[in-house]
Structure 1
Amino acid sequence: MEAKRNIYTVGEGMQQALMYAEMLDIPFAFSSNGDAFLLHDRTGTLGKVEEEISLDRFPSPDFLWQKYCEWKGLDEGRQKIVTQNYYTDHRKALRYYQRIAINRTVEAIAKGQDRILLVMATGTGKTLTAFQIIWRLWKAGVKKRILFLADRNILVDQTKINDFKHFGKAMTKIKNREAEKSYEIYLSLYQAVSGTEEEKNIYKQFSPDFFDLVIVDECHRGSAAEDSAWREILEYFTSATQIGLTATPKETKDVSNIHYFGEPIYTYSLKQGIEDGFLAPYRVVRIDLDKDLVGWRPEKGKTDKYGKTVEDRIYNQKDYDRDLVLEKRTELVARKVSDFLKANDRFDKTIVFCENIDHAERMRKALVNENPDLAGENRKYVMRITGDNQEGKAELDNFINPESRYPVIATTSKLMSTGVDAQTCKLIVLDKRIQSMTEFKQIIGRGTRINEDYGKFYFTIMDFKKATELFADPDFDGEPVEIYDFDGGNGPGSPWEGEGETGREKYFVDDVGVEVVTERTQYYGPDGKLITESLKDYTRKTVLKDFESLDSFLKHWNEAEKKQAILKELEERGVLLDALSEEVGKDFDPFDLICHVAFDRPPLSRKERAERVKKGDYFSKYGEQAQEVLDTLLDKYADDGIENLENMSVLKVQPFDRIGTPMEIVKLFGGKNSYLAAVRGLESQLYTTDASLLET
C-alpha cells in the first residue's frame, strides 16, 4: 500500500507500490490518496488488472487469501502445508528475501516439485533459510526424515550449534561410520557417508527411501559433477525431495547445477544485498608488480638458492609460487599488506589467499617478519590455516569468532574460500590467480558480512594478481545460465583440487628484486560497478550533483529533521563515509568530511564541536539532571558520532543508566517530544556557526 497526500490522484503511488510488490513477491498492490483505493491484481484472478474501489470496499484478508491460493494452485491440502508457521526467534528476524526463498520452496514442495535450486549470495543467510524450510515441512508432517549434507566439517558443526540447534534431541550428526536410525534430522559430511570402498559407503546402511528430504549445502562443489562419488548419494536417495543451496551455481561444459536441480526458484544476488544494506560494500586496492607485468627470464646458468639451475624461459604471473618462487616478491606482498594494516588497524581480521599450501606457509613467515612486535606478543597473530595443518585448522573457529582477537591474519589457499562465516573480516588479499567466477565470488563472499557491533560496514580487497578484473565480467552478478555440455568430459574431482603443487621442478630464487609499478584504489559504485576515480573526487562530484553550493548543502543539512537520512542518501549513491574518514581523518563528523572534500572547508573535529556547545548557554534553560543528560550526549557524539544523538536506544547504555531508565530520562525534559526537541536543539547548536554562514 502506497499512500499519498490528498493533493495527488488516487493512482499516484501505484508505480511505487508495484516496485515494492515485485521485490517482495506480493500479489496485490494498492495506491490511495485518502479518497479511494486503486487495486492492482498481479494474479489475474480478479477480472481486471487495475480497478478503483471506494474506501468501504477494501477486500478482506480471507478474500485475498482465497485469490492468492487460486493463483498459486493451492488446494486445501496444500494450504495446510504452506500455512505452517515459521520457528519464531526474535533474535533472528527473517529478512524479506529469506521469506520469499522459504515460501517459494515450501509452496513448490507442496505442489510436488522434487528438485529445487536456491541461489543466495554469500552472507545472506542460506543456512537460516534452510532451517526454516526444514522446520515448516517437518512440523507440517510433510517431511519426517531429513538429511543435510555439506563438504566441510566446520559447515556441519556451525550449522548444528547455531541455526539448527532448535531441533534439539531430534537431530544428530553422522560420524564414526555408524548409521543410527532413531533420529529425524541428520547432519553429515559427504565424506562421512561415502568412500571409494563399498564398506565405507555408510549411506547404503539406510534404505533408499529412508530420507524424504535432502538438502545439499554449497551444491556448486563436489555434488555438481555427474560422475562424482558424492552424486551417487543423491541418486541413491532419488525418491527424496532434494534442495540445492549455493551462492554460485556451477555451470560449465562439464558440470551443471541447473541440469540436476532445475532453474533456480529464487535468486538473491550480491549486488541486491549491497543495495539493500544487508551486505558490505567494498573497495579494491589494485597493486601491480614489475615482474608480474613484464615477466622474468633468468640469465644463462642462473641457479636458485638450493643450487638448481633454473630452466631458461620467460616466467610470468601464472608461474609464480607454482613453478618459480621469487622470495622478494613474497616479502613485498607481505610488506604492502602490513603497511595497509598499520595505516588503518593492525587488528583488522585479514585473509590472504595464496596459490597453494607452500605459498601460504611462506606468506605466513613473511608476515611474521613484517610484524615482529605483534607476532612476538602472540604467536597466533599470523596463522596458516590450510587443509593439511591441524594447528591452523584448530584456530579457524577463533578466527571467525568476532569476540576472539587472535588469529588476526590468516594465510590460506583453498580451505577458507567457501562456507567460512568471517563476520569481521575487513581485508581480503588476493595473491593467487583466480580463473573461476565461482571461486572468485566465493572468496569475495568472505568479506560481505556486516557486523555493526564490531564496526564492520565495508571491506577492502587488496589484489596483486588482477583477479578483480572479474568484477567487469557481465556474469559477475548476472543470473545463472546453464551451459552444461551433455557430451562433455569428466568433471572435477576432489574439492581440494589446487591445494597441492604442479608436480614439475620448482625453483626458489632469493636474489631477484621486485618493485611496485602501479597502485590504485577503486570503490563499489551505486550501479554495482567499481568507481575508478579517487574516493575524494567521487564524493565531491556526487555531492555537487545535489548541492551546487555550500549554502545549499548547509540549508538542507540544518533543515533535516534527522541528519542520518542525508547520510543514508549519500551512502546509497556510493559515498563510503567510513572509508572517507580513513583518508581524511577519523575524528571528523560526516558533515565536516563532506564540507571539507566537496567545498574545501577546514574541518572541525567532533570534540571541537562538542566543546564549543558546552561553552555556550544552551544548557541553561534545563534542569540540572537534564543538563547532565545533554552533556553526556555531547560526549557520546564526540566519541562516536551523530547517530548517537538521533537514536534513543543510546539512553539504555552507560553512563546514562546511572542517571535513570530511558523513561525516567525522558521525563526530565517533560516527555518524549520535549526530549526530541532538546536533541534537535543540541544538533542545531553543533552546527550553529555553519548555519550563520548562510547570512554572511
Structure 2
Amino acid sequence: MFTPKKKADRNEAETRADHIDQSLEYDGWGKVNDSRIRREFEITKGRILVGGKRSQRLIADYVLIYKGRKVAVVEAKKEGLSYTEGVRQAKDYAERLQCRFAYSTNGHEIYQIDMVEGTEELVDRYLSPDEMWTRLFNNEPEGTPDFKKVWRERFAEIPFESKGDWLPRYYQENAINKALDAIAAGEPKVLLTLATGTGKTCIAFQLSWKLFQSRWSLTAQKNPQKAKRRPRILFLADRNILANQAFNDFGQFGEDALVRITPEDIRKRGGVPKNASVFFTIFHTLMSGPKTKVDELEESEFVEDAHAFYKQYKEDFFDFIIIDECHRGGAKDESNWRGILEHFSKAVQLGLTVLVKSNRTLF
C-alpha cells in the first residue's frame, strides 16, 4: 500500500501528481499489461445552448481501463478537502460510463463505491486491474461457457476504429459493449433501442468492426480456437437511402470487403454477389427475383417473388445480420419480409430501433 506524506496545502494538480498517480501505479494501473489510466477523460462536450454556445463539459479526473473495458472512475480533490467532495461526481460519471467502480479521494483517504452491489466504504488502496475484472464478472452463473469469456476478452482487445479522429460517444460504447456481451454469450438475437440521432449506424459499424477484426463467426462462436475466417455480415434496411448511407459509413473496411447489392448488379453478375465480407441491401431487393420489375420495388405491399434472390444464398452464408429500423416492419412476424430472416435464422441477428415495443412484436 502506498502511503502519502501529509501536506495540507497541495492543490488538486499537486495532489494528483504526488499522491493519486503514485497510488494507482502502486496498485498496478498503467503497469499491468492491458491496463490504462485515462486522465482528464471527456465524457460529454456539453449541451449546445442558444447562440451556439455549449454548457460545461463533463470531464472525469481518471478513468481506469482494463482489457479494453472502462472499469472505474476516480474523482480527485485537493488534499485539504474531504474525500467525500467528489462522491456525487464519481457516481454520476461511473453511471454514465457504466463502470463497476467509482472512487473519490483527496490523496489520503480513498472512498470506494461498488455501483452494482451498492456498497460504499473507505479502503486503503485501489483494487488492482485483475481484482476489478474478477469482481466485474463474478456474478455470472456457474457453468458459464468458456467461449463467452474468450470472446468477451477478444472483443475488448480490438480497439474502436477511430474513423479519423472520431470515436464512439459514451452511450454508443455502452450499447456496443452490451451487444458484444450478448454475442459472446451465444445469444441468437440482440435488440438495441436507441433514441433518434444517437448514431445507430455508427454502433452497427463498430460492432461489425470488432467482429471482423477478431475473426468471430458462426463456425468459431462456440469454438474460438477455430477463429480463422472473417465473418460475413449483412446490413438490411427498408430504404435505399439508409443502405447507401451505411455503405459509405463502413468505408474503413476497404472497397474489396464491401458490396452494395442491387437488382441491376445481380442481373449483371448473373446471380447474387458472394465475394465480400459486408453486404448492404434493402429487403425488397432480396425479395425480388429475375423477372421482378424495378419500379415494383418501391411498392409498400411488395410481395416476395417465388424465385427470390435471397434463396441463392445458403442458409448459413451470413454470420451476422443487422436489421436497421426494425420497428418499421422488417422483423414483425406478420411482415412479408419475415422469410428473409427465417431463411438466415442461423445467423446472429441484431435489430436496431428507436421505438420501444415488446420483443414479441418487434423482433
- Same-fold status (TM-score > 0.5): yes
Partner of 1:27: 100
Q: Structure 1 residues 200 and 138, CA, compared in 2 at 3 Å: closer, same or farther?
A: same
List per-residue Cα deviations over 1:22-70 (Å, max 9, x = no partner).
Answer: 12111110011221211112345xxx9223123xx22222332333243
- The CA deviation at 1:3 is 2.1
The question of whether the paired residues in 2 share the 8 Å contact of 1:146 and 1:184 is answered with yes
Matched AA of 2:115: R
Determine whether 1:123 maps to 2:209.
no
Matching residue's letter, 1:60:
S
CA gap of 1:11–1:197, structure 2 versus 1, over 3 A, is: closer
Would you tell me which structure has more strand in proportion to its own residues?
2
Residues 243, 261 of structure 1: 8 Å contact kept: no
Alpha carbons of structure 1 residues 210 and 219: separation in structure 2 relative to 1, 3 Å: same
Which residue of 209, 219, 230 corresponds with 1:135? 209
Counterpart of 2:253 (choices 167, 182, 186) is 167
Q: Which residue of 2 aligns with 1:259?
A: 360
More helix by share: 1
Partner of 1:148: helix, strand, or coil? strand
Equivalent AA in structure 2 for residue 32 of structure 1: T
Residue identity opposite 1:139 in structure 2: Q
Hey, what does 1:231 align to over in structure 2? 338
Structure 1 segments, 4+ long, off by >4 Å, are 71-74
Does 2:135 correspond to 1:83? no
Within 5 Å, which residues of 2 pair with 1:89-238?
A: 89-143=163-217, 144-161=231-248, 163-168=249-254, 169-176=256-263, 177=266, 178-195=271-288, 196-238=303-345
State the AA in 2 paired with 1:194: M
**Deviation at 1:197?**
4.8
Report the 3-state secondary structure (helix = DSSP H, G, I; strand = E; otherwise coil) of the residue aligned with 1:58. Answer: coil
Q: Is the 8 A contact 2:332 2:361 kept in 1?
A: no
Q: Per the alignment, do residues 166 and 104 of structure 1 end up closer, same or farther by CA in structure 2, a change over 3 Å counting?
A: same
Give 1:63's aligned amino acid: E
Letter in 2 for 1:231: R
Listed as ranges, the matches of 1:498-509 within 5 Å are none
1:49 maps to amino acid: T
Structure 1, unpaired ranges of 5+: 263-696
Name stretches of at least 5 consecutive residues in structure 2 with no aligned partner: 1-73, 218-230, 289-302
Residues 77 and 185 of structure 1, relative CA distance in 2, 3 Å threshold: closer
Distance in 2, matches of 1:90 and 1:216, equals 26
Question: 1:53 is matched by which residue type in structure 2?
Answer: V
Name the larger-Rg structure.
1
Check whether the contact 1:149–1:217 (CA below 8 A) recurs between aligned residues. yes
Letter in 2 for 1:136: K
8 Å CA contact 1:30, 1:40 repeated in 2: yes
Q: Deviations over 1:602-624 (max 9, x none)?
A: xxxxxxxxxxxxxxxxxxxxxxx
Give 3-state SS (helix, strand or coil) of 1:242's partner.
strand
- Asked if 1:49 corresponds to 2:122, the answer is no
Contact 1:193/1:201, CA 8 A, preserved across alignment:
yes
**How far does the alpha carbon of each residue in 1:62-108 deviate from its partner, in whole angstroms, 9 at most, with x for none?**
33233324346653453223332222324322111111111111111
CA contact (8 A) 1:69 1:75 kept: no
Aligned-residue sequence identity (percent) comes to: 39
SS at match of 1:12: helix
**CA offset digits 1:101-120 (Å, max 9, x no partner):** 11111111101112111122
Q: Deviations over 1:583-635 (max 9, x none)?
A: xxxxxxxxxxxxxxxxxxxxxxxxxxxxxxxxxxxxxxxxxxxxxxxxxxxxx
Q: 1:155 to 1:200 in 2, by over 3 A?
A: farther
TM-score norm. by structure 1 comes to 0.34
